Chain A
Amino acid sequence: MSTGEKKRVINRVKAMYPLRAKVDESYLRSQEAIKAGKPTVWAMLNFCYGDPILKAMDIEVVYPENYGAALAAAGVARGYLDRADAEGFPTHLCGYSRANFGYAARLMELGGEPPPEAPMGGMPKPLFLLSSVAVCDARYKWFQALGRYLDVPVWTLEAPLPGIREFQLEGCYEEMVKLSVSHLRDFVTFVEKAVGRKMDWDRLDEIVNLMMEINRVSHEVNELRKAKPCPMHSRDFWSAMPPALFLLGDLKESLQLYKNLYDEVAERVENGISAIPEEKYRLVFAELPPWHSLDLFDRLAERGWNFVIESFGYHPPPPVDLSHVKDPLERIARYSLQRMVANYRDALQKNVVAGADVYIYLKYVSEWKCDGAFLHPLVSCRSASTHLPHLANILMERLKVPSLIVEGDIVDLRLFNPQDALQRTEPFEEAMEHYRRVRRELGFDW
């Protein structure tokens, strides 16, 4: 990536750094734990569904999706992608999965030892694979396909996803809960057999409560970002999100770190401190950022572009009181479903039937008062891209907010041109100015 000089412009929130550090710490701790004989699992991002169970069973978890991004950021993905091509995987498949197939082929070639060129010590051979049907087909077909390299079992987590209107039919939500709870109970049995230990239900109970509280605080931090000027940039959100999204490390420590983040952001709001020197435009970002080219955002910050909200899938669910639910598995199920369900109810009221991932951006843009949307369709990630053309249409139709669409890829650096993105900023600023006037004429309040 090259966007010219490396000047840092974004005013990073200091309390974000210890949260970001937990990612590297987590890789290091995994390496040490594995050397000490602790079981490791490769898992898909499962939206707080399977993670608390693995955590309660004291299993180390690594996420090949994240590792795919790490390979891209370290500039070493190409070799693994080429290996996946040679193994016969079609080239249009998810870039993360292709990098992982190449990695797994190398891992097995080396007798289960992580390849020496792998960044952060690599991912060790797992005890089992935990996939999820949530979000996209790739996230369970990928782990099934890994069976070619890894002689370990796969558990696929269900994730019910009815339509917004159909969700209103009698009994639909309770059937979703029933499926989820029953499924999680079987998953616990599966994990117990795999590690040869019984579940500590008190520990699980405590972990679930901490998980919900961490995510509640993280949610409140994002609410603070509605302030003008916005005190925390999307880059800080992305840097700070992993401990909440993946339940990294010690949860009590994470909770304190998110509280620290909240305090610092609240203080910035009180003192009118912005995340960038001069906030001229407020933007929303959808969906996955160009991990390999993040300094693009510094160049945009120089022009007064403040990214105030972003990436729906990475955000915590709206808080919900589940203190009356005694069974921790049911609490996990209801909490995890809340991510979609809360938005379904709102979406129907606003007559948006195109899914929570479209509705939520209408909410973001209108509540965070955005002037524009930066949409980043990814060539090899259809789940994060398919809704974007419709999203651009509906943002314009309903809120008179324009979108800048810049294509790229999650792993393949050749498919993203930051210079091209920068060249399109000036005309887009004219569009944002124009529609700001249009909105005011129509009576919008931003």
Chain B
Amino acid sequence: MAAKGLSRAKEVCSQRPAVAKGATARGKKVIGYPCVYVPLELLAALDIVPYRLYGEMREPVTEADRVLPASFCPIMRSCLDCALKGRHDFLDGVITIHSSDPQEKTARIWQSYTTLPYFHFVDMPGTTRPEAVDYFASQLKGLVTTLESLSGKKLSADNITKAINAYNHQRSLVQSLFELTRPSPPLLTGTEIVQVIKAVMSLPVDEGNQLLTEVIEEAKARKQKSEAQRARLLLWGSTTDDAEVMAVLESNANVVFLEDCGGYRPYRGKVSTAGDALTALARHYLTEITCARTFIQNVAAPTKKDYHKDLHARYGYLKSVITDWKVDGVVLLLVRYCDPFAFEVPAVKDYFASLGVPATYIEYDYTEGSLAPMRTRVEAFLETIG
């Protein structure tokens, strides 16, 4: 019997390339993407399967050393290393996006040292101003042009609407998934969620939605355990792509909310189906994904500034998470050299302090060797919050 729900998620995670190759064997084009800012709706509407590219913590970086300095985002170094070792050769192409310096700079190297038939770099503005949204929409139009050429199909209004609806459904399902971490103890662990999200990002949208539906049903059917109360943590950071990292955080606590790109962040809100689809996608991706890379203007005071209002404009969406998920503490978990998030650390700590929630900053270098010190840091933090 074929695996379902959480077993299926685990299976997909352990065989991601094989799953993608299956789609290739069925005659589908498969396109890799290393960042959640790539609007997957455009791929789905042209019957292209998106495949999230991750680094590999257990793989020593060797090939990327030739082309990138050591003091650079270790996730993107690892991702490129996998590409240079031919691990992504089954792909029909790669889409990268200007979501951060490492993404943009790795894209150039990637394009220079690999020979995939398709490569597209999408430029992305730094602000959310109206002219920035328009420019981003024009960049998405360019992406459509090259994707149409790759797929041999034209993007129809009907297909893009269907794709937006399918991904909006996926957003709703992930939001429902996180409802299951609200109870105490939660019905799903953070470790399980990392695996589910990773599996979903490796599958065509309908299969991902099916998997999410199964996981939600399975978790809801779980009996509420009566176990000793464990601390409830919020994880804030760039991305978590390895279940073992989450297992370290959860050895004596529950991570009930993952505010990162391996968790809730890519699934916040919904794309509007009214008006021009490219503008709607541009607006959604630019404004709803709460990555530190985007400059948020403090609209409350355009020519003066109040630090606390500014913090609220930048992180206000986290206030209800803290209360609704009954968060006891926050772990700010970053890989070394993740500049956009690293600049945020003192400010986001100030914000959590204003809400009365303790927070700690932990940095790691995306190697297995960093897990033991991470465990020590987490244990020390848990002791301080009792």
Contact = CB atoms under 8 A, between A and B. Distances in A.
Partners in one complex: yes
Contact of B305 (A131, A154, A383): A154
For chain A, the bracket of interface size reads: 35 or more
A229 interface: no
Contacts of A175: 134-135, 138-139
Given A147-B307, A160-B135, A377-B69, A353 B129 contact: no
B317 interface: no
A183 B67 contact: no
A36 interface: no
For chain B, the bracket of interface size reads: 35 or more
B301 interface: yes
Nearest to A94: B339
B346 interface: yes
A137 B123 contact: no
Given A153-B298, A386-B105, A393 B67 contact: yes
A156 B334 CA distance: 25
Interface in B272-328: 292-293, 295, 297-298, 301-307, 310
Interface stretch (B24-32, B106-114, B189-197, B211-219): B106-114
Contacts of A148: 307, 346-347, 350
A137 B305 contact: no
A4 interface: no
Interface stretch (A72-80, A164-172, A364-372): A164-172
Nearest to A140: B295
B108 A355 contact: yes
Interface string A385-407: 11111100110000000000000
Given A136-B101, A160-B123, A387-B105, A186 B339 contact: no
B126 interface: yes
Contact of A92 (B66, B67, B71, B292): B71
Contacts of A169: 142, 145-146
Interface string A295-307: 0000000000000
Interface string A161-195: 11101100111100110110011001000100110
- Kindly name the residue among B72, B138, B146 whose own CB sees the greatest number of chain A CB atoms within 10 A: B138
A387 B302 CA distance: 37
Nearest to A192: B303
11 contacts: A88-B349, A89-B346, A90-B342, A147-B305, A150-B305, A153-B301, A154-B305, A158-B126, A163-B107, A171-B138, A178-B134
Interface of A: 87-90, 92-94, 97, 128, 131, 133, 136-138, 140-142, 144-145, 147-148, 150-154, 156, 158-163, 165-166, 169-172, 175-176, 178-179, 182-183, 186, 190, 193-194, 353-355, 358, 377, 379-380, 382-383, 385-390, 393-394
Interface of B: 66-69, 71-72, 98, 100-102, 104-105, 107-109, 111-112, 119-123, 125-127, 129, 131-132, 134-135, 138-139, 141-142, 145-146, 292-293, 295, 297-298, 301-307, 310, 334, 336-337, 339-340, 342-347, 349-350, 361, 363
